[in-house]
Chain A
Amino acid sequence: MNWLSLFGVSLVVLLLFFYEWPKMNQNQVKEKRVFIFLIAGVWLVAVMLIFFPDVPGPIDLITFLFRPVENFL
């Protein structure tokens, strides 16, 4: 199941790449870098979540920061 999800996520990321890459201009170097960085990052996060679903995420950081306010209410 995990390996199937990994395959699915990789497929989606590849599709995304082949959909978007030809649309960018030759001289949009910075855009291309950001795009590659983002989809690589997203792929890594997705793979991490497939194998370790309990890793604390961005929402946990906010929950940690604002919990004192909740207790105050």
Chain B
Amino acid sequence: METGKISASQMAFMMYPVVIATGIVIIPSITANYAAQDMWLSPILASLMGVLVIFIALKLHQLYPGHTIIEYSVSIIGKVPGKLLGFIYLYFYLLMNAGGTRIYADFVTGAFFKETPLFVILSTIMLVSSFAVRGGIEVVGRSAEMIVPFYVIILTILCFLLVADLNPKNIFPILSDGLMPSIKGAYTPQSWFAEFFLIAFLLPYVKDIQKAGKWSMISLGAVLLGFLATNLSLLFLFGGELTERFNYPLLDAVRYISIAEFIQHLESLVMAIWVAGTFVKLAVVHFALVIGTAQWLNLSDYKPLVFPLGFLTVLVSIWGISSEMESAHYSGTIFPSFSLVVQTIIPLLLLVIAILRKKHH
């Protein structure tokens, strides 16, 4: 169905913005809310979830090479339960992408385009991403390869420009209330790290599959570094107590940058990488959703589904969510539990069943 191939390094470039594009903007304040001055520890704990899901996805792909989870769930647990499980995955990725689009649109309207209707922001970004997906996985892979290096460079520059204003003493007292606050603070970011399970949809199209494990871990490491750098910068700049009060602490931190009253108003840079990163993120997740749907229905081509499902994603992102607060509540507390079940527990069970079945035959 998809004849295009990507390289393992392109897959790493694709996965980076999937996790970080939305994560870096809303997660610091959620983490700070639970973990306060220990907020830097939470991403480290949460990244263990990323290691686990990458391991599961790679193992499952080893057992069923060339197949995505929609296909091998049927081979593992039988036709009807497998199809049912496939539907749960499609539902999950539809909602995940709708949530991502909504986080993006809330941020853009909240911080920059205060008068623009939400649906304009939602549909424009989804339209561009859909065009990329319609071009095939190679187009998505190459856009990621082109955009992500700029993303990383700009993020790094922004963190360095903050250095003069940082106060490292904010990190103390370390672990004053034990590990529990950091673990609670890791509950939301674990669902973002678990999005690495998306490689289960990309692995069948990777040319140099033996390098996939290495590149996934590099991508995970880069994501962890990104989260650590932003969380530490915010902690050193505002302290844990203040960070939780901002909706988008990174944006407020960047607004704070003023060097010699000459280098300032850098929030336009945040906006630029934010739009570019979200474009890649939505395209990758949308690709997974579309190819999954086509495989679920046994179609010969996924391209006709790209735009209708893109439209549906935009609709779901406003369906029943009337305010930004409701949307933030969903992303911060409901989505992590949903993700834990669908992206971690179910794949783990599938892997166990698959290994047991292979041993019996």
Evaluate contact between B95 and A62: CB separation under 8 angstroms: yes
Looking at the complex, which of B160-168, B294-302, B344-352 is the stretch in contact with chain A? Answer: B294-302
Evaluate contact between B301 and A31: CB separation under 8 angstroms: yes
What residue in chain B is nearest A40 (Cβ atoms)?
B308
**In the assembly, what is the distance between CA of A57 and CA of B95, in Å?**
10
**B323 on the interface (CB 8 Å rule)?**
no
Evaluate contact between B334 and A49: CB separation under 8 angstroms: no
Residue from A23, A32, A34, A57 in contact with B297 in the complex, judged by beta carbons closer than 8 Å: A34
Chain A residues with a Cβ closer than 8 Å to the other chain, count: 36
**In the assembly, what is the distance between CA of A54 and CA of B320, in Å?**
6
Evaluate contact between A73 and B187: CB separation under 8 angstroms: yes
**B337 on the interface (CB 8 Å rule)?**
yes
**In the assembly, what is the distance between CA of A57 and CA of B98, in Å?**
12
Evaluate contact between B312 and A60: CB separation under 8 angstroms: no
**B39 on the interface (CB 8 Å rule)?**
no
**B184 on the interface (CB 8 Å rule)?**
yes
List, in ascending order, chain A residues with CB within 8 A of B91's CB.
Answer: 58
**In the assembly, what is the distance between CA of A41 and CA of B297, in Å?**
16
Evaluate contact between B334 and A34: CB separation under 8 angstroms: no
List, in ascending order, chain A residues with CB within 8 A of B316's CB.
Answer: 57-59
Evaluate contact between B334 and A62: CB separation under 8 angstroms: yes
Evaluate contact between A69 and B337: CB separation under 8 angstroms: yes
Contact with B along A2-18 (1 / 0, CB 8 A): 00000000001100100
**B309 on the interface (CB 8 Å rule)?**
yes
Evaluate contact between A66 and B299: CB separation under 8 angstroms: no
B218-274 at interface with A (beta carbon < 8 Å): none
Evaluate contact between A67 and B304: CB separation under 8 angstroms: no
CB distance from B273 to the nearest CB of A (A): 27
List, in ascending order, chain B residues with CB within 8 A of A26's CB.
Answer: none
B291-321 at interface with A (beta carbon < 8 Å): 297-301, 303-305, 307-309, 311-312, 315-316, 318-321
Evaluate contact between B305 and A34: CB separation under 8 angstroms: yes
B57-88 at interface with A (beta carbon < 8 Å): none
Evaluate contact between A35 and B305: CB separation under 8 angstroms: yes
A55-73 at interface with B (beta carbon < 8 Å): 55-60, 62-63, 65-67, 69-70, 73
List, in ascending order, chain B residues with CB within 8 A of A30's CB.
Answer: 297-300
**In the assembly, what is the distance between CA of A67 and CA of B210, in Å?**
41
Instruction: Decide: A38 near B309, CB < 8 A? Known: A30-B299, A57-B316, A58-B316.
Output: yes
CB distance from A12 to the nearest CB of B (A): 7
**In the assembly, what is the distance between CA of A70 and CA of B335, in Å?**
10
Evaluate contact between A46 and B315: CB separation under 8 angstroms: yes
List, in ascending order, chain B residues with CB within 8 A of A57's CB.
Answer: 316, 319-321
**In the assembly, what is the distance between CA of A31 and CA of B187, in Å?**
40
**In the assembly, what is the distance between CA of A20 and CA of B337, in Å?**
37
**B94 on the interface (CB 8 Å rule)?**
yes
What residue in chain A is nearest B102 (Cβ atoms)?
A59
List, in ascending order, chain A residues with CB within 8 A of B335's CB.
Answer: 62
Instruction: Decide: A59 near B299, CB < 8 A? Known: A42-B308, A70-B337.
Output: no
Evaluate contact between A23 and B315: CB separation under 8 angstroms: no
Instruction: Decide: A59 near B94, CB < 8 A? Known: A31-B299, A31-B300, A46-B315.
Output: no
**In the assembly, what is the distance between CA of A11 and CA of B179, in Å?**
55
**In the assembly, what is the distance between CA of A28 and CA of B95, in Å?**
29
**B3 on the interface (CB 8 Å rule)?**
no
Evaluate contact between B297 and A58: CB separation under 8 angstroms: no
**In the assembly, what is the distance between CA of A66 and CA of B95, in Å?**
14
CB distance from B1 to the nearest CB of A (A): 11
Across the A-B interface, the 9 shortest Cβ-Cβ residue pairs: A57-B319, A57-B320, A38-B308, A66-B337, A69-B337, A35-B304, A60-B320, A70-B333, A42-B311
Known: A35-B304, A58-B319, A62-B334. 8 other contacts (CB 8 A): A13-B311, A19-B307, A30-B298, A34-B305, A38-B308, A59-B330, A70-B334, A70-B337
> 11 A-B Cβ contacts within 8 A?
A12-B311, A16-B308, A20-B304, A20-B307, A30-B298, A59-B95, A59-B330, A62-B334, A62-B338, A63-B334, A66-B337
